[in-house]
């Protein structure tokens, strides 16, 4: 072992209190940074696990002036673009789904996440099948789509990794499906949980221009070599301009601001959580900076206490370079040890953070402790060790030999430069802790206001699950209607069930039907845009089940679906938009981009508006409710809503059994409380608020310890001076006030800078806050009070100790 390394170990072992404090500070700060970095790295930084993942893009339609800032792509878009656009080597579409899977021997069906994809999908991603072949265009029509490509995991779990799996069949939605391919191990498309893939089948009539804006497919593409994102966007804009010439709704979509945007697939997928994650990373980086400043102060104090030792070493011939190397070795050894502890605690932290729901984040399932994350932590620790060495090296090298040897004389005090540096560090610590505490307060207030936002319905004792009718068993209207006619009475007959209903657009269900609606008498012009609204088909008991109040008129009845005059119910936001100050009852509308005179659907009632996607959803979107089932009964996927005081673990088996008594092979999907569904939408806001609060508490503790440590050292260093002053008549209160005043000045300076930093941080956080300004008065006042109380406690103890100095004891050494 090199001499300098042995010397560093000896020096650290001589002061166990200092060493343990430094190690604990390093471990906590590095572990926090490593934990958050693992999330940021997996979600934001790391490239997609596909060849040249940065060349993958997504294309989606937008209609901003119609209230649709983001939609998907249509079947005609797929066929038109893949033939004409030259900026891409391939274009493909996909749609996440879930389907019933049973065995050919009649075993019970289960619900499995799946996806429907076009033939080019895997080639677009650059993924080669482990065995078999991709889909073909011939398999994109209903009836010819009875094939599947399995993930390796599904192949192993359900086919025992049979090497002869190709050609084998299994039941999917009651249809015999043939396995034609298996994907390589570990394949996963972004956050999709699909266990096998089916062709993106559709009706050939869907390919006509009139369906150009029937958007229901995610579209991805791979840029051609040398093509930039801007070039691809320019070609897309030019292509859309040409297509407008034969678009049946050209004028309407122009006024809606229609455009197709081309965006990087990775960046677009994480767009919503990226600001929050980067904010958290900045927060823990500030925490690390506070810890580093604290350690720098400790090393400065340690260097001051060793001034005479260093001076003696210089007098005996030690070069300044040797002294600097010893200091650097000591800080690096300490940082390396702290880094190892930080890696261990960080690995545990990554496991704990999954409990906060990070797996629901985009790419959240890829968050893991790996060599990349550990390497970043070790590198950060070593860099920190070098930086921590700079202040004590600076102090050591600028210390004069004579003054160093006199360091323990009657007049020996630390240099003004070292004092100013320590004081500056305290100010920085306090300012950063203030910013973190204020930011955590803003996130907490934002979350509180969000939780106080009513969803528009009563969530207590309310449960919902999904039902998907398999096409093979429900090909026509008759069996579909028969199932629905038996379902609701069967559920309502269960003991403990108050109400049951069906909806095709469940609030907080993650699958929102947003469609164009026009009303009778609304002028259509080149400057007025159509609007999209939430569309739902519901059974008559829906509003009673959800406890949504009726504002005006009546609700839908069972016989409305059979009435030649089609009826609907709208919400307050829809009524206020189109008929402000008027009676909406009897008004007519059309679920189409163009209103046809003489037709239309009559409004018979107005209900309270509800939140559809999240609690933070802006008011005023508007919703229209139609009767379910309608005459055609085309819907095969819908949600079952049940109102019951029973707990979910008791109710769910009862509901599932009632469904299987109607159709033994039909599973109930994702049956859980509406409170749980709402909570899922709050993960991206609740978890950061919790983490920010923890980081702010640690930052406050470090700032308090730093302030206390510097003032305590100042008292110890100036003990002789205090003794002389008190021997000459200075009162204890005067000595106490002197040190208390010093601490208050440092803390006040830090808080002033912190207020400015809190304002800047608040402005940067506006996109992720809910109804909270950049500077929120109550939060700022509470932050100031908390900082003042804690800082005052840190200042009072050293000041009180100074006042208790005994002049005789202080001067006895002289």
Distance (Å, whole) CA 532 – CA 607: 18
Minimum mean pLDDT range among 265-269, 427-431, 728-732, 797-801? 728-732
Residues 286, 247: one domain? no
Other C-beta atoms within 10 Å of 465: how many? Answer: 19
**At 616, which helix (H) or strand (E)?**
none
pLDDT at 411: 42
The answer on pLDDT for 7 being more than 50 is: yes
Residues 426-464 pLDDT 10s: 888 888 889 988 988 898 898 889 888 999 998 889 999
pLDDT at 330: 77
Looking at every residue in the chain, the average pLDDT score rounds to 83
The residues, any chain, with a CB within 8 Å of residue 559's CB and separated by 6 or more, are none
Q: Is 670 helix (H, G, I), strand (E, B) or coil?
A: strand
Does residue 782 lie in a domain region?
yes
Domain count, the chain: 3
Does residue 55 lie in a domain region?
no
Q: How confident is the model at residue 490 (pLDDT cuts 50, 70, 90)?
A: very high
Distance (Å, whole) CA 290 – CA 677: 38
CB 699 within 8 Å of CB 789:
no
**At 741, which helix (H) or strand (E)?**
helix 732-764
Q: What are phi and psi of 466, to 5 degrees?
A: -115, 150
Residues 122, 227: one domain? yes
Minimum mean pLDDT range among 324-338, 607-621, 660-674? 324-338
**At 408, which helix (H) or strand (E)?**
none
Other C-beta atoms within 10 Å of 212: how many? Answer: 23
Beta bridge partners of 96: 115
Model-wide pTM > 0.85: no
Beta bridge partners of 637: 468
Residues 495-532 pLDDT 10s: 999 999 999 999 998 777 777 788 887 655 445 567 88
Locate 556 and state its tokens.
Answer: 């839908």
Candidates 198, 204, 162; CA nearest to 178 is 198
CB 466 within 8 Å of CB 113:
no
pLDDT at 1: 47
Other C-beta atoms within 10 Å of 138: how many? Answer: 10
Beta bridge partners of 639: 466, 503
- What percent of the chain shows pLDDT beyond 70? 84
**At 597, which helix (H) or strand (E)?**
none
Q: Considering 681, 700, 725, which residue would you say is the last residue of a domain?
A: 681
Residues 371-424 pLDDT 10s: 888 888 888 888 888 887 777 777 666 555 444 445 444 444 455 666 777 788
Q: Considering 622, 649, 681, which residue would you say is the last residue of a domain?
A: 681
Residues 428, 549: one domain? no
Does residue 54 lie in a domain region?
no
Distance (Å, whole) CA 172 – CA 665: 11
User: What's the count of helices (H) and strands (E) in the chain, helices before strands?
Assistant: 24, 21
CB 670 within 8 Å of CB 526:
no
Does residue 52 lie in a domain region?
no
Does residue 729 lie in a domain region?
yes
CB 588 within 8 Å of CB 602:
yes
pLDDT at 9: 63
Distance (Å, whole) CA 484 – CA 633: 10
Does residue 238 lie in a domain region?
yes
Residues 675-714 pLDDT 10s: 999 988 888 788 888 888 888 888 888 888 777 776 776 6
Beta bridge partners of 501: 641
> How far, CA to CA in Å, does 512 sit from each of 260, 627, 638, 667?
20, 17, 12, 22
Locate 50 and state its tokens.
Answer: 């596909």
CB 560 within 8 Å of CB 288:
no
Candidates 519, 601, 535; CA nearest to 564 is 601
Distance (Å, whole) CA 514 – CA 517: 10
Provide the 8-state DSSP code for 356: G
What is 304-322 written as a DSSP string? Answer: HHTHHHHHHHHHTT--HHH
Distance (Å, whole) CA 103 – CA 213: 38
Best-predicted range by mean pLDDT (284-298, 445-459, 739-753): 445-459
pLDDT at 698: 86
CB 682 within 8 Å of CB 611:
no
Residues 85, 209: one domain? yes
Unique residue bearing structure tokens 């009897």: 586
Q: Considering 681, 709, 731, which residue would you say is the last residue of a domain?
A: 681
CB 190 within 8 Å of CB 269:
yes
Distance (Å, whole) CA 446 – CA 436: 15
pLDDT at 402: 47
Residues 692, 747: one domain? yes
Supply the Cα-derived Rg of the chain in whole angstroms.
34
CB 517 within 8 Å of CB 533:
yes
Q: What are phi and psi of 410, to 5 degrees?
A: -60, -35
Residues 644, 539: one domain? yes
Does residue 59 lie in a domain region?
no
Q: 584, exposed or middle or buried, with CB in 10 Å at 0-12, 13-18, 19+? A: buried
Distance (Å, whole) CA 749 – CA 414: 22
Residues 308, 366: one domain? yes
Unique residue bearing structure tokens 């038109």: 80
Domain hosting 102: range is 64-257
**Alpha carbon of residue 284 to chain centroid:** 16
Residues 694, 795: one domain? yes
Half-sphere exposure of 771 (CA within 13 A, CB side): 13
Q: 618, exposed or middle or buried, with CB in 10 Å at 0-12, 13-18, 19+? A: exposed
Minimum mean pLDDT range among 23-27, 408-412, 604-608? 408-412
Cα of first residue to Cα of last residue in the chain, in angstroms, is 42
Does residue 333 lie in a domain region?
yes
Distance (Å, whole) CA 671 – CA 693: 33
> How far, CA to CA in Å, does 411 sit from each of 179, 304, 374, 405, 799?
89, 14, 49, 12, 21
The residues, any chain, with a CB within 8 Å of residue 736's CB and separated by 6 or more, are 799, 800, 802, 803
Candidates 174, 184, 170, 207; CA nearest to 93 is 207
Candidates 75, 74, 91, 59; CA nearest to 261 is 59
pLDDT at 365: 79
Mean pLDDT of 234-252: 89
pLDDT at 525: 46
Candidates 296, 306, 295; CA nearest to 390 is 296
Distance (Å, whole) CA 66 – CA 571: 18
Other C-beta atoms within 10 Å of 160: how many? Answer: 8
Residues 651, 701: one domain? no
Unique residue bearing structure tokens 């269900």: 509
Mean pLDDT of 114-138: 94
Residues 309, 424: one domain? yes
Helix, strand, coil percent values for the chain (each to nearest 5): 55, 15, 30
Mean pLDDT of 136-160: 90
The answer on pLDDT for 580 being more than 80 is: yes
The answer on pLDDT for 311 being more than 70 is: no
Q: How confident is the model at residue 623 (pLDDT cuts 50, 70, 90)?
A: very high
Residues 440, 382: one domain? yes
Residues 191, 74: one domain? yes
The residues, any chain, with a CB within 8 Å of residue 73's CB and separated by 6 or more, are 59, 60, 61, 93, 215, 217, 218, 219, 260
């Amino acid at each position: 072992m090199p001499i300098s390394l042995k010397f560093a170990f000896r020096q650290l072992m001589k002061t166990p209190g200092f060493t343990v404090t430094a190690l604990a500070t390093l471990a906590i700060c590095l572990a926090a940074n490593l934990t958050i970095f693992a999330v940021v790295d997996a979600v934001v930084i790391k490239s997609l696990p596909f060849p040249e993942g940065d060349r993958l893009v997504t294309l989606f339609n937008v209609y901003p002036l119609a209230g649709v800032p983001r939609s998907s792509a249509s079947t005609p878009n797929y066929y038109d673009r893949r033939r004409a656009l030259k900026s891409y080597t391939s274009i493909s579409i996909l749609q996440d789904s879930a389907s019933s899977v049973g065995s050919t021997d009649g075993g019970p069906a289960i619900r499995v996440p799946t996806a429907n994809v076009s033939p080019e999908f895997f080639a677009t991603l650059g993924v080669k099948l482990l065995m078999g072949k991709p889909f073909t265009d011939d398999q994109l029509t209903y009836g010819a789509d009875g094939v599947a490509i399995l993930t390796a995991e599904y192949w192993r779990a359900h086919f025992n990794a049979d090497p002869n799996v190709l050609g084998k069949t299994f039941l999917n939605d009651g249809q015999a499906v043939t396995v034609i391919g298996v994907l390589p191990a570990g394949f996963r498309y972004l956050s999709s949980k699909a266990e096998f893939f089916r062709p993106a089948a559709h009706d050939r009539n869907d390919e006509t221009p009139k369906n150009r804006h029937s958007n229901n497919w995610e579209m991805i593409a791979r840029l051609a070599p040398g093509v930039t994102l801007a070039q691809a966007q320019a070609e897309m804009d030019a292509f859309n301009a040409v297509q407008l010439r034969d678009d049946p709704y050209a004028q309407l979509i122009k006024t809606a601001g229609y455009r197709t945007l081309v965006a990087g697939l990775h960046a677009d997928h994480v767009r919503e959580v990226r600001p929050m994650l980067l904010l958290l990373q900045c927060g823990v980086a500030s925490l690390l900076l506070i810890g580093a400043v604290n350690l720098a102060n400790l090393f400065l104090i340690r260097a001051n206490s060793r001034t005479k030792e260093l001076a003696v070493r210089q007098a005996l011939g030690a070069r300044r370079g040797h002294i600097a190397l010893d200091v650097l070795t000591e800080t690096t050894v300490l940082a390396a040890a702290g880094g190892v502890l930080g890696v261990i605690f960080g690995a545990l932290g990554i496991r704990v953070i999954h409990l906060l729901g990070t797996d629901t984040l985009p790419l959240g399932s890829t968050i893991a402790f790996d060599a990349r994350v550990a390497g970043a932590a070790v590198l950060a620790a070593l860099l920190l060790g070098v930086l921590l060495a700079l202040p004590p090296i600076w102090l050591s090298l600028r210390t004069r030999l004579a003054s160093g040897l006199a360091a323990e004389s009657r007049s020996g005090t630390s240099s003004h430069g070292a004092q100013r540096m320590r004081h500056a560090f305290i100010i920085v610590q306090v300012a950063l802790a203030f910013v973190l505490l204020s930011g955590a307060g803003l996130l907490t207030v934002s979350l509180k206001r969000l939780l106080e936002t009513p969803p528009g319905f009563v969530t207590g004792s309310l449960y919902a699950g999904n039902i998907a009718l398999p096409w093979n068993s429900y090909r026509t209207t008759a069996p579909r209607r028969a199932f629905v006619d038996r379902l609701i009475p069967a559920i309502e007959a269960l003991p403990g069930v108050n109400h049951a209903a069906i909806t095709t657009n469940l609030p907080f269900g993650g699958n929102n039907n947003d469609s164009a609606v026009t009303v009778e008498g609304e002028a259509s012009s080149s400057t007025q845009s159509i609007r999209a609204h939430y569309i739902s088909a519901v059974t008559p008991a829906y509003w009673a089940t959800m406890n949504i109040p009726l504002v005006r008129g009546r609700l839908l009845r069972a016989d409305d679906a059979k009435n030649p005059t089609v009826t609907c119910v709208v919400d307050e936001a829809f009524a206020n938009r189109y008929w402000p100050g008027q009676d909406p009852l009897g008004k007519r509308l059309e679920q189409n981009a163009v209103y046809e005179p003489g037709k239309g659907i009559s409004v018979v009632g107005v209900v309270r508006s509800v939140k559809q996607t999240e609690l933070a959803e802006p008011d005023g979107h508007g919703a229209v409710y139609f009767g379910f089932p309608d005459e055609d009964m085309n819907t095969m996927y819908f949600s079952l809503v049940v109102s019951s005081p029973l707990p979910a673990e008791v109710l769910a088996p009862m509901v599932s059994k009632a469904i299987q008594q109607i159709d033994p092979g039909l599973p109930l999907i994702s049956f859980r409380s509406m409170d749980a569904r709402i909570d899922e939408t709050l993960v991206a806001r609740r978890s950061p608020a919790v983490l920010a609060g923890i980081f702010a508490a640690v930052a406050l503790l470090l700032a308090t310890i730093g302030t206390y440590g510097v003032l305590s050292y100042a008292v110890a260093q100036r003990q002789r001076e205090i003794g002389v002053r008190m021997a000459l008549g200075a009162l204890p209160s005067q000595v106490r006030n002197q040190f208390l005043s010093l601490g208050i000045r440092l803390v006040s300076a830090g808080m002033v800078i912190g207020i400015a930093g809190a304002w800047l941080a608040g402005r940067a956080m506006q996109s992720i806050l809910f109804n909270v300004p950049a500077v929120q008065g109550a939060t700022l006042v509470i932050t100031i009070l908390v900082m003042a109380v804690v800082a005052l406690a840190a200042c009072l103890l050293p000041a009180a100790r100074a006042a208790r100095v005994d002049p005789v004891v202080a001067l006895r050494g002289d």
